Chains A and B, each alone.
Chain A
Amino acid sequence: MAGLEIPTWDPETALLIGAILFEAFVLYVGYGGLERLVGPHLMRLVVGGDASAR
């Protein structure tokens, strides 16, 4: 593996990197939705009121 390489097509590795990309998208959307859904409740629980966190 030593030496500079030109990338060659490898479906297994592409799937591996695709899985990480897919997870990143799912987490971006999922945590975004979760933040909107439970964020205000969590703030009330932690701070004792709907403080302006942003």
Chain B
Amino acid sequence: MLGSLLSGPGFLGTSPEMLALFAGFGLVVGVLFGFFGMGGSFLVTPALLMLDYPAPVAVGSGMAFVFGTAVIATLKHHDLGQVDYKLGVIMITGTTIGIEAGRASVYYLESLGLAGGVISVAYVVLLGGVGAMVTRDALNGGGGGVDHETADKDLDEYEIPEIAKKIQQTVRIPPMVTLRGDVRVSAWVITAVAFATGVLSGFLGVGGGFIRMPAMIYAIGVPVPVAVGTDLFEIVFSGGLGSYLYGQGGGVNLGIVVPLLFGSALGARVGSAATAVVDADEIKVYFGGMLLVGSVAVGIGEVGSYLGNATLELLGLVLVIGAAVVVAFAVLYTTVTSLRVTRQQQTSTAD
């Protein structure tokens, strides 16, 4: 049933209704990415799978969307001086090989007729796991995602986590490289981190920042803002190559990617500006809740697909998109409310 919506006489073979849906969904995803600093692609591939796109198209288009988003975000982080190009270049090789391994797995599973199911189950586990982690951290008053306040600190002020120090002292296989923030680490540690997260990216069509950023911080010892900027920089190359490989197999649909990017680039600007007004920790619990709902929704959609029940498939899709819309709306509402309160205070002080 959902499949009948996909094709039509619109732009790039996509019907006007679907173009509007993708642009709107992109806007929502962009607000979340700009505000929380992660989660840009968590929901795109599952939503495409639930819309009955073949797994290689869902993953390939998701990856191409991540590539476009990373280009835009890297331009911004480059302006802020938050990209370690040496670390990025070393990571590109490992990530690219990892992405190719993940991509080959998708096509292998597709040839067995299992790709959609296995990827959906992986998303249920991933969204559920990350959602539970973010919710727990938010309830404990902790972080998760990018801490925008600490991201403004000087690089010299960052303390290397104990676990990163231990890895740096234990794994001393040459060649050793010195990174920004005076971090000295084996190139093999960097390559291993890059490969593992690359496999995840290639298999699920996500940027992998939610895994790679903590890995760069805790396994390599990179300061938070440099981890964010460098992660995006290397996604430009590895994601670009991954998209190219998926594109060769017909896995990249411009009718999906163009409207998604159109919406998300605007949403990311709004979300990023909102971080200057609202503390992300205040509403991070909603973000965690959204991921948990997303996990349940993908599960419902998959059960619906297995049983051939279109109603369950539609319910899963509505839940995925609805959860993202609710959290994006919460971000915008809190921001506007905070701005109005600040404005009223300024006015009464001036009086």
Question: Which A residues lie at the B interface, using CB under 8 A?
Answer: 1-5, 7-8, 10, 13-14, 16-17, 19-21, 23-25, 27-28, 31, 35, 43, 46-49, 51-54
Whether A48 contacts B343 by the Cβ 8 Å rule is yes
Q: How many A-B residue pairs have CB under 8 A?
A: 105
Contacts of B339 on A, CB cut-off 8 Å? 43, 46-47, 51, 53
Whether B72 contacts A27 by the Cβ 8 Å rule is yes
Considering the chains assembled together, what is the distance between the CA atoms of A14 and B247 in angstroms?
Answer: 9
Considering the chains assembled together, what is the distance between the CA atoms of A5 and B346 in angstroms?
Answer: 61
What's the minimum C-beta distance from B350 to chain A, rounded to whole angstroms?
A: 11
Contacts of B240 on A, CB cut-off 8 Å? 17, 21
Picked from A25, A48, A53, the residue with its CB within 8 Å of the CB of B273 is: A53
What's the minimum C-beta distance from A53 to chain B, rounded to whole angstroms?
A: 5
- B309 at interface (Cβ–Cβ under 8 A)? no
- B254 at interface (Cβ–Cβ under 8 A)? yes
B256-281 at interface with A (beta carbon < 8 Å):
257-258, 261-262, 265-266, 269, 273, 276-277
Considering the chains assembled together, what is the distance between the CA atoms of A28 and B161 in angstroms?
Answer: 35
- B158 at interface (Cβ–Cβ under 8 A)? no
- B252 at interface (Cβ–Cβ under 8 A)? yes
Over the window 50-72 of chain B, the binary record of Cβ atoms lying under 8 Å from chain A Cβ atoms (1 yes, 0 no) is 00000010000000100111011
Contacts of A27 on B, CB cut-off 8 Å? 72, 261-262, 265-266
Whether B343 contacts A13 by the Cβ 8 Å rule is no
Known: A17-B247, A48-B343. A2 touches B111 (CB 8 A): yes
Picked from B244, B261, B273, B346, the residue with its CB within 8 Å of the CB of A17 is: B244
Whether A16 contacts B265 by the Cβ 8 Å rule is no
What's the minimum C-beta distance from B251 to chain A, rounded to whole angstroms?
A: 9
What's the minimum C-beta distance from A10 to chain B, rounded to whole angstroms?
A: 5
Contacts of B64 on A, CB cut-off 8 Å? 17, 20
New A-B contacts (18) at CB < 8 Å, excluding given A20-B243, A27-B266, A53-B339: A1-B107, A1-B110, A2-B107, A3-B107, A4-B100, A4-B101, A4-B104, A7-B245, A14-B244, A16-B254, A17-B240, A19-B258, A20-B254, A20-B257, A20-B258, A23-B261, A31-B266, A43-B339
The 3 tightest CB contacts between A and B, nearest first, are: A24-B71, A27-B265, A1-B107
Considering the chains assembled together, what is the distance between the CA atoms of A24 and B108 in angstroms?
Answer: 31
What's the minimum C-beta distance from B102 to chain A, rounded to whole angstroms?
A: 11
Considering the chains assembled together, what is the distance between the CA atoms of A40 and B111 in angstroms?
Answer: 54
Contacts of A10 on B, CB cut-off 8 Å? 244, 247-248
Considering the chains assembled together, what is the distance between the CA atoms of A37 and B336 in angstroms?
Answer: 20
- B241 at interface (Cβ–Cβ under 8 A)? yes
Picked from A7, A24, A46, A47, the residue with its CB within 8 Å of the CB of B244 is: A7
Over the window 8-26 of chain B, the binary record of Cβ atoms lying under 8 Å from chain A Cβ atoms (1 yes, 0 no) is 0000000000000000000
Considering the chains assembled together, what is the distance between the CA atoms of A5 and B107 in angstroms?
Answer: 12
Considering the chains assembled together, what is the distance between the CA atoms of A45 and B101 in angstroms?
Answer: 50
Contacts of B72 on A, CB cut-off 8 Å? 24, 27-28
The listed residue with most A CB atoms (<10 A of its CB), out of B248, B276, B347, is B248
Whether A16 contacts B252 by the Cβ 8 Å rule is yes
Whether B265 contacts A31 by the Cβ 8 Å rule is yes
Contacts of B71 on A, CB cut-off 8 Å? 21, 24-25, 28
Considering the chains assembled together, what is the distance between the CA atoms of A13 and B67 in angstroms?
Answer: 14
Considering the chains assembled together, what is the distance between the CA atoms of A21 and B110 in angstroms?
Answer: 28
Contacts of B110 on A, CB cut-off 8 Å? 1-2
Contacts of A5 on B, CB cut-off 8 Å? 100, 104, 245
What's the minimum C-beta distance from B23 to chain A, rounded to whole angstroms?
A: 12
